[in-house]
Amino acid sequence: MTHPLSGMEALSWPNPELLADLARLRDRSPLVHCITNAVVTNFTANVLLAVGAAPAMVVTVEEVEEFVRIASALLVNVGTITAPDADAMLEAAGTAGRSGTPWVLDPVAAGVLAYRTSVVDKLVGLSPTVIRGNASEILALNGLNGGGRGVDSTVSSVEALPAAVELARSTGAVVALSGKIDYVTDGEQIISVEGGHELMSRVTGMGCTLGALIAAFLPVSSSPLRAAATASAIFGAVGEHAATKSGGPGSFAVEFLDRLSTIGL
Amino acid sequence: MTHPLSGMEALSWPNPELLADLARLRDRSPLVHCITNAVVTNFTANVLLAVGAAPAMVVTVEEVEEFVRIASALLVNVGTITAPDADAMLEAAGTAGRSGTPWVLDPVAAGVLAYRTSVVDKLVGLSPTVIRGNASEILALNGLNGGGRGVDSTVSSVEALPAAVELARSTGAVVALSGKIDYVTDGEQIISVEGGHELMSRVTGMGCTLGALIAAFLPVSSSPLRAAATASAIFGAVGEHAATKSGGPGSFAVEFLDRLSTIGL
Amino acid sequence: MTHPLSGMEALSWPNPELLADLARLRDRSPLVHCITNAVVTNFTANVLLAVGAAPAMVVTVEEVEEFVRIASALLVNVGTITAPDADAMLEAAGTAGRSGTPWVLDPVAAGVLAYRTSVVDKLVGLSPTVIRGNASEILALNGLNGGGRGVDSTVSSVEALPAAVELARSTGAVVALSGKIDYVTDGEQIISVEGGHELMSRVTGMGCTLGALIAAFLPVSSSPLRAAATASAIFGAVGEHAATKSGGPGSFAVEFLDRLSTIGL
């Protein structure tokens, strides 16, 4: 890093700012345009509805420009990318830049597979507001070998923290680095968020869903850094609570949605 | 409206005709060919299985003609439409007309996005048996600005009722207008259906799923009007019951499937 | 059959070999590359995570060769096949043969629709390690009319057992024939597996999910025959247990995942 960080902060649920952001989200019900992977579309939509946002999956290149202009935020997740998806994602991200729509890039398995890595490189060049990934993905985006084998990360989040800071500085995006501890940074400040439960790694697409939740907070939080931290803290708190009430990954997902719909009320 | 309605009726669960239609559905297990959106495929299939129908998602233009001829009913839902989907939908709907297979059109977000609106216009021209939509969508199909922003409707169902009647008259389709109160009309009669619960708007694709349920009743009810009304009444009754047993949108969806599998038994 | 079978065995949970295979799976967490249908992607991923495997859906022709080489096993399921899917499936299956990656073919509705039947014929020619299907599908692959109408089988598994043995002999694949009783055969031995519960037919894609579970056991079992039998036995035992705790198909699916995550621990 070329210059020192200006601050480091630990965030946990609840606090007044988190509650205020959440109340604002529920009041405004931001329309979140999702171009996400086939595995998590249903759960992502249900998570956004549970928290109080309005999800819409509009995925074809013929429609994304028009819809990004209506939407409050955009999520682009490359998990099951195909060539037509790539066209739609690039068109949507380009439009978001022109229309000022904040957007989240989730570079699933970047660095593992050449095709998606090249698409992700182009997407990063279109100035995402937030990049959310695990340690392997963040290392890969920073030009390093993250050693992932897909959605799993084989290094811990703290090991990738320097790369996250550098990536934030080089791209101008807030970087949300997911792991046992989540770190969120804009290249100057780092916010760490503890929470969550290991059951979250036994339900598909929890990380993808956090990306969607960050997108939902972008229109209602005071900054992208704050949006990413708020979403991570709420996500972790809901996960912890759901784990105490569930008997395995099936009931965990059910409890997660129930709890997300009432947290802070 | 150019001439008066012939009748208006309120329907609610249970009544003998509803029970008879449901028993017939379970006895015959109609094969429902679904070309629906990526968000709701799984839940739609599970709803159809729960009620006693046999769902099958066959979505490629190479196969739909052959499968529509086997199926008892067809559902076309444009929620996450792409250009290849549009080809398959138009081919399927055209085949349904030629083979006499009853079919439901769910024009998700018609009027909001130009591309899908043009495809929906073509689909309407292929004589759907039933058109199911919210107020914004029905207004849009009738050439009015419904003000929707995607799957949400920003006007109430009763405000769109005149448009629903006109749309039924101009197209020959039964129109199923979803909202706090559902209205079903063939342009002559109107059947109103109260029921449901606000939790249903917190689970993605409940409206889409109602479209599938209407398709399942088409082969076993005495008329398309009756099929749409029966499906709406059962849907609402199941939703009300599930809401009383659930702690949020996650458990609601689970209870909905459980209850649908036993209602009327 | 041109020569007699060498043996017939009945398998049921628990036994020491099943427990050892399951412990090995959880220890190694095999990476299972899934190219499966749109209806079951989420549930399939959650089932694989619940049992302890690592699922990854990589579906585009640009990426499958690279990913098959990383994966421990591959699943190809043609349930909602499109032409681009077919390209990816054939490329993935061809790569699996060259790289020695074991793979499962699930020929959903083969014999019912001409397009997918022709793709399935090509896939069978690429030497799947295991073919998993219901009686109608197995009969169709053996050149007989199985009378299916999609995912349903209209004949019982025992009636298709001779065809399963012949198919195993002619293709070199292990054939896993699903039904009220499951049969697994390599053309010499037959293993029968009782278990399961009728609620499993009321949840979409349970058969598809069994195909994924077989893929997960291929890298950790002593033979493909053993992998298919082990997966079937665990699947049935989990289904039976989940049924006793559930009030319908919604809660069944939840309990299934919970139980799968703890069985044998």
Q: Tell which of C39, C62, C82 to mutate to test the A interface (max A CBs under 10 Å).
A: C62
- In this complex, the chains that touch B, judged by 3 or more CB pairs closer than 8 A, are A, C
Predicted pLDDT at C147: 58
Q: Flag if C37 and B56 touch (Cβ within 8 Å).
A: no
The structural domains of chain A, ordered by start, are 7-262 (3.40.1190.20)
Dump the DSSP string for A86-154.
Answer: HHHHHHHHHHHHHHT--EEEE-TTTTTSHHHHHHHHHHHTT--SEEEEEHHHHHHHTTS-----SS--S
Sign of the alpha-carbon dihedral angle for A88, A94, A100, A105: positive
B161-170 pLDDT, tens digit per residue, is 999 999 999 9
Q: Which of C57, C66, C262 shows the shortest C-beta gap to A248?
A: C262
A196-222 pLDDT, tens digit per residue, is 999 999 999 999 999 999 999 999 999
Q: Tell which of B32, B41, B245 to mutate to test the C interface (max C CBs under 10 Å).
A: B41
B157-207 pLDDT, tens digit per residue, is 999 999 999 999 999 999 999 999 999 999 999 999 998 999 999 999 999
Q: C-chain residues within 8 Å CB-CB of B258?
A: 246-251
Query: pLDDT category, B6, cuts 50, 70, 90?
Result: confident
B30 to chain C: closest CA residue: C149
B152 to chain A: closest CA residue: A54
Alpha-carbon separation of residue A192 from A12, A16, A105, C148, C247 (angstroms): 9, 17, 20, 55, 42
Nearest-angstrom CA–CA distance, A240 and A252? 10
Predicted pLDDT at C150: 53
Q: C-chain residues within 8 Å CB-CB of A42?
A: 42
B207-254 pLDDT, tens digit per residue, is 999 999 999 999 999 999 999 999 999 999 999 999 999 999 999 999
A6-21 pLDDT, tens digit per residue, is 889 999 999 999 999 9
B107-164 pLDDT, tens digit per residue, is 999 999 999 999 999 999 999 999 999 999 999 999 866 655 555 567 889 999 999 9
Q: A-chain residues within 8 Å CB-CB of C255?
A: 250-251
pLDDT at A147 over 80: no
Q: Which of A115, A203, A251 shows the shortest C-beta gap to C49?
A: A203
Do the Cβ atoms of C169 and C177 come closer than 8 Å? Answer: no
* Count of beta carbons in the 10 Å neighbourhood of residue C123: 25
Residue A99, C-beta contacts closer than 8 angstroms, at least 6 positions apart: A68, A69
Q: Flag if C250 and B84 touch (Cβ within 8 Å).
A: no
Q: Flag if A249 and C258 touch (Cβ within 8 Å).
A: yes
Q: Which of C39, C109, C250 shows the shortest C-beta gap to B255?
A: C250
CA distance B257 to chain C (A): 5
Residues forming beta bridges with residue A191, ordered by sequence position: A9, A184
- In this complex, the chains that touch A, judged by 3 or more CB pairs closer than 8 A, are B, C
Q: C-chain residues within 8 Å CB-CB of B262?
A: 248
Q: Flag if A249 and C262 touch (Cβ within 8 Å).
A: no
The helix (H) or strand (E) run that includes residue A17 is helix A16-28
Q: Which of A81, A247, A250 shows the shortest C-beta gap to C60?
A: A81
CA distance B81 to chain A (A): 7
Average pLDDT, chain A: 95
Q: Flag if C202 and B60 touch (Cβ within 8 Å).
A: no
Do the Cβ atoms of A115 and C60 come closer than 8 Å? Answer: yes
Residues of chain A whose beta carbon is less than 8 angstroms from a beta carbon of chain B are 31, 38, 41-42, 45-46, 49-50, 54-60, 62-63, 66-67, 70, 84, 253-262
CA distance C25 to chain A (A): 15
Q: Flag if A45 and B204 touch (Cβ within 8 Å).
A: yes
Query: pLDDT category, B4, cuts 50, 70, 90?
Result: confident
Q: Which of A41, A62, A262 shows the shortest C-beta gap to B38?
A: A41
Dump the DSSP string for C200-231.
Answer: GGGSTTHHHHHHHHHHHHTTTSSSHHHHHHHH
pLDDT at A237 over 80: yes
Q: Tell which of A32, A34, A63, A85 to mutate to test the B interface (max B CBs under 10 Å).
A: A63
Q: B-chain residues within 8 Å CB-CB of C254?
A: 254
pTM for this entry: 0.96
Q: C-chain residues within 8 Å CB-CB of A152?
A: 54
Average pLDDT, chain B: 95
Q: Flag if A41 and B43 touch (Cβ within 8 Å).
A: no
Residue with tokens 């559905």: B25
Do the Cβ atoms of A225 and A43 come closer than 8 Å? Answer: no
Per-residue pLDDT of chain C (265 residues; tens, 9 = 90+): 567 888 899 999 999 999 999 999 999 999 999 999 999 999 999 999 999 999 999 999 999 999 999 999 999 999 999 999 999 999 999 999 999 999 999 999 999 999 999 999 999 999 999 999 999 999 999 986 665 555 556 788 899 999 999 999 999 999 999 999 999 999 999 999 998 999 999 999 999 999 999 999 999 999 999 999 999 999 999 999 999 999 999 999 999 999 999 999 8
CA distance A159 to chain B (A): 35
A52-105 pLDDT, tens digit per residue, is 999 999 999 999 999 999 999 999 999 999 999 999 999 999 999 999 999 999
Q: Which of C57, C66, C254 shows the shortest C-beta gap to A114?
A: C66
Q: C-chain residues within 8 Å CB-CB of A149?
A: 31, 54, 56, 70
Alpha-carbon separation of residue B5 from B1, B2, B9, C2 (angstroms): 9, 10, 11, 73
User: Which residue spans within chain A are E strands per DSSP?
Assistant: 7-11, 31-35, 54-57, 73-77, 103-106, 130-134, 174-178, 182-185, 189-193
Q: Which two tokens stand for residue A151?
A: 């959605």
